[in-house]
Amino acid sequence: MKTKRTFLSILTLCIALLFTACSGKEAASTEKSQDTKTESSSVSTDDSNSKLDNLYQQENQIFADHEDVWNKAFGMMSKSAADQNGNYADYLADTVESNKDSFTDDELKTLTADIETIRKIEEQIAEIEKKNTGSDNTDQKNSSNDASPFKNFSGQDYDGNSVDESLFSKNAVTVINFWFTGCKPCVAELSKLNELNDAIKSMGGEVVGINTETFDGNKTAIKEAKTLLKSQGAKYRNLSIDSSSDAGKYASDIMAFPTTILVDRNGNIVGDPMLGGIDNQDNYDTLMKQIQSVIDADSTKK
């Protein structure tokens, strides 16, 4: 996925639930693994990353300053088909425009002004990223295309049991749902995800939740997530993973929450991510069709 920001840090900042691991903007700038050929190129890269991080923080602060209205906007992104190569400001503007009747005049003014500020910041980000494009970046992209972020997967469930990539090999399809505790649309679909998990068990499938606030074994966040899951009757497996892992970095590029993806038996991501909760019946039906497709393909290979 692109090295752009995510809504993880945005949403989290907006509701005062700060966490570093799930900050796509921060991860995009600080977790770039490039082979340094010379000392000067290393300094140059560090400087670029520092500038990017500063710009990402500026954007995050905008969302934090107007947390109520932006949190409202984020909750309306359930059917967004975010173009990962598109303009971030345009993505926000399109989302607001398609839901403008849900906002007051004052809210629309705030959102519009913020988006224009973000657009200017995005121009600076694009310029820096353009300068950073080179052979090292090309190698990194080729590598990311060849290897799924779940090929060397590892984590722990909330009871401390270790999990590795065999999680996927045991299932025809694994439904991975990325969420966090303060995300209202995420919480709203928890019981439906549990229903989905029960429905696909006999089909060779499993639902797995990854709460981004529980990254790096955050005990407080894990305790809160466990309490919330129990209150919603969600018994399917949830995992804590390292923010620096390939899967953790993948999560940092997610554009909106909740996001659900399908992973096949070999740890490969299948199809496009689904943005939005499956408590929406249309989303649920669409996801079930995708799940059945992966299961059918798995049966054919046997």
Give domain limits for the chain. Answer: 47-132, 155-300
For 31, residues 6+ apart whose C-beta sits below 8 A from its C-beta are: 244, 249, 252
Q: What is the pLDDT of residue 14?
A: 38
Question: What is the C-alpha separation between 170 and 120, in angstroms, rounded?
Answer: 47
pLDDT in tens, the chain (302 residues): 333 444 433 443 333 332 322 333 333 333 333 343 344 445 566 677 778 778 877 887 888 888 888 888 877 764 444 444 557 788 888 889 988 899 999 999 999 999 999 999 888 888 887 776 653 444 444 433 457 899 889 999 999 999 999 999 999 999 999 999 988 889 999 999 999 999 999 999 999 999 999 999 999 999 999 999 999 999 999 999 999 999 998 987 776 789 999 999 999 999 888 888 899 898 899 999 999 999 999 988 76
Asked if 80 contacts 27 with a C-beta cutoff of 8 angstroms, the reply is no
CA 243 to chain centre: 12
What are 3's two structure tokens? 């090295």
Nearest CA among 42, 98, 90, 40 for reference residue 73: 98
Q: Where on the phi/psi map is residue 86: left (φ > 0), alpha (ψ -120 to 50), or beta?
A: beta
Q: What is the pLDDT of residue 4?
A: 40
Q: What is the pLDDT of residue 43?
A: 53
Asked if 254 contacts 172 with a C-beta cutoff of 8 angstroms, the reply is no
Find where tokens 């989905």 sit.
196
Q: What is the pLDDT of residue 286?
A: 92
Pick the CATH number of 155-300 from 3.40.50.10470, 3.40.30.10, 3.30.565.10, 3.90.1150.10: 3.40.30.10
On the 0-12 / 13-18 / 19+ scale of CB atoms within 10 A, 45 is: middle
Question: What is the C-alpha separation between 302 and 295, in angstroms, rounded?
Answer: 11
What are 272's two structure tokens? 């496009």
Beta strands per DSSP E along 124-166: 154-157, 162-164
